[in-house]
A = this chain, B = another copy of it.
């Protein structure tokens, strides 16, 4: 099968153009693609070099997010047909706003969380990982709860990094699960609780990878823990997200909007 080289050209990190290219290409499931990232194309010289490389690659496609129209010129001049997100959307946005766009080099100044608040959120989420420092739970934007290995830590870190949220996570131990209600320290912060759960099969597979053939990783144990946890969540009306088939992005988006 023919494999298309797909260049992702950006004047900044390339995060956006790679996401657009991947989503677009997923709509051609019968074809195969190799992505080549060309980030930080932020001068006419770099644009010329990138354009020459793409033009020399047979059957190549090129997606881009180049905010400055001048940076697109070398590509058009080299005969590269660029799928540039801004080139194709900007005219309609300009019409709607009644104003011309000013190129800004991929920066989203003033609209993304700043470095300090992200660092603060990451530090907080690490400090309150896995039930640490429960006395600080009242400072959390969100508190993820669930049994061991349902994906609390990666979800908390993702929300901290991407959205500057201070996200604690608290594991429900077998001892917690034997009680009739959630631990007091969680009940004191009930509105900030969000529960994660998984299918028992999935959880057992994840635990098996770490502790093969242990009681902890057995399907029966996973079933019991999950059922007990779900009873507690229902009792206190904690929103529950079943992350069995979800990516971290999807879990995070559902947590933010639940």
Contacts and interface: CB of A to CB of B under 8 A. Distances in A.
Interface string A56-87: 00000101010100000000000001010110
A119 interface: yes
A102 B122 CA distance: 38
**Of residues A24, A35, A102, A209, which shows the largest number of chain B Cβ atoms within 10 Å of its Cβ?**
A24
Contacts of A13: 247, 249-250, 252-253
Nearest to A122: B154
A50 interface: no
Interface in A209-228: 209
A145 to B, nearest CB: 18
Contact of A97 (B31, B67, B108, B126): B31
A31 B99 contact: yes
A185 interface: no
A136 B118 CA distance: 28
A115 B63 CA distance: 26
A4 interface: yes
A20 interface: yes
Interface stretch (A88-96, A175-183, A188-196): A88-96
Interface size class of A (residues with CB under 8 A): 35 or more
B93 A61 contact: yes
B101 A81 contact: no
A12 interface: yes
A22 interface: yes
Contact of A67 (B27, B88, B102, B116): B27
A223 to B, nearest CB: 21
Contacts of A99: 28, 30-31
Interface of A: 4, 12-16, 19-20, 22-31, 33, 35, 37, 39-40, 61, 63, 65, 67, 81, 83, 85-86, 88-90, 92-93, 96-97, 99, 101-104, 106-112, 115-116, 118-119, 122, 126, 129, 151, 153-154, 157-158, 161-162, 206, 209, 247-250, 252-254, 256-257
